[in-house]
Amino acid sequence: MTRVTMICSGNICRSPMAEIILRHLLDEAGVDSVDVDSAGIGDWHIGEGADPRTVAVLQRHGYDGSAHRASQFDASTFASYDLVLAADRGHVRALQRGARTDADRAKIRLLREYDPEAVAAGTLELDDPWYGGTADFERCLSEVEAACRGLASELQRDLDRASS
């Protein structure tokens, strides 16, 4: 089982979007050997649902974010993950500070590294829509979908190689 976690600030906007979208894409592809979850760097929203604007934008695009409950990333769990995907460089720095080994640090990447267009444009940060409006949540979802499509394809290729 491959384990992936998505990380943002409070686990109510960007990382739940990424968790829900990646899980959906993997389910559509029939990939059941990847476990996906999400968490925040901070503890501000533990136990709360996703931001209502996140749930609304997900719903408009055919995803269900209603069951999400925020949690905080615990650095002692690095060993249980294969990939720890951050929304922005601030999260990468926080995760690197919490990583205890080089192997843990090697698991940390920016989510948008899986979107070839973002890589080509050099726009690897996933801006926080929290302070914005509907357009900001729509942009965020679009960016997350592109990255998750690339990630799902890569995970599927890796699994196919491992099984052959």
3 state SS for 106-118: HCEEEHHHHCHHH
| Res. 164: pLDDT tops 90 | no
Given 35, 37, 128, 136, the catalytic residue = 128
| Res. 59: pLDDT tops 90 | yes
Helix axis angle for 52-60 and 134-163, nearest 10°, is 70
14 counts as catalytic: yes
Q: What is the pLDDT of residue 57?
A: 98
Q: How far apart are the first and last CA of the chain?
A: 16
Strand pairing partners for 38?
Answer: 6
User: pLDDT confidence of 160, banded at 50, 70, 90?
Assistant: confident
43 counts as catalytic: no
- Half-sphere exposure at residue 114, Cβ-oriented, CA atoms within 13 angstroms: 25
